[in-house]
A = this chain, B = another copy of it.
């Protein structure tokens, strides 16, 4: 029996132009298509990128249901269903591609899908086609570098709370706050208190027709924003320690 390969195809965050040539090629070859949905009757963010690229998905493309819940039994059941659906198709000998918005290694379900499929059959070969992450596209969109030269960069789900974010602002030149929705007001208050509100930018659904860029972040107070939204924050005042540079001789550096 020949097993197909499971391929995570990163599509970039929303603009079909940000698909890589490798992703495009993967979509042009014969393969079973799968893509994530949060509800059985809901659309797919990932599939939508492909459609906007002008590609017609194959008629037998299969949505895999990953409900937005933290209920362990519901989750276990949907993962079991998804992985057996994928394995069944791999066992037909054809490759299975899983469409991923953004980058498949960055806050994606693909890693977990690959693990669960390989738990069922360790022979399954997995390939990941990397993509443009949402925060790289957001930085490009607003024209502000994420990190330069000796900068440090942290990417965290905002849900860890303002105390953690406050602390991170002391240690990083650049902060990407993901999933800001549930505590946007608190984060805005923190940035105002620290005098950093002018160094923050809000981006929602970057590269899609629903994209929204808000540079005056304070005016978002009290607003309900989309799930796929993020904040880019710079701290130009971060106290920096010594840095050892690549071009220095090792011995000299060690003597410091």
Total number of A residues with any Cβ neighbor in B under 8 Å: 73
**Are B159 and A156 in contact (CB-based, < 8 A)?**
no
Interface residues of A in 97-155 (CB under 8 A from B): 103-108, 110-112, 114, 126, 128-133, 136-137, 139-141, 143-155
Please name 11 further chain A to chain B contacts, defined as beta carbons within 8 Å, in addition to the given A18-B22, A182-B248, sorted by A numbering: A12-B20, A18-B20, A106-B139, A106-B146, A130-B139, A131-B136, A152-B154, A159-B246, A160-B242, A164-B241, A183-B244
- Among residues of B, the one whose C-beta sits closest to the C-beta of A132 is B130
- Among residues of B, the one whose C-beta sits closest to the C-beta of A158 is B244
Q: Does chain B have a CB within 8 A of A29?
A: no
Could you tell me the distance between the alpha carbons of A143 and B104 in the complex, rounded to whole angstroms?
10
Could you tell me the distance between the alpha carbons of A10 and B133 in the complex, rounded to whole angstroms?
13
0/1 per residue, A154-193, Cβ < 8 Å to B? 1111011100100000001000000101110000000000
- Residues from chain B with a CB closer than 8 A to the CB of A241 are 160-161, 164
Query: Pick the contact of A143 from B128, B131, B144, B182 — CB < 8 Å?
Result: B128
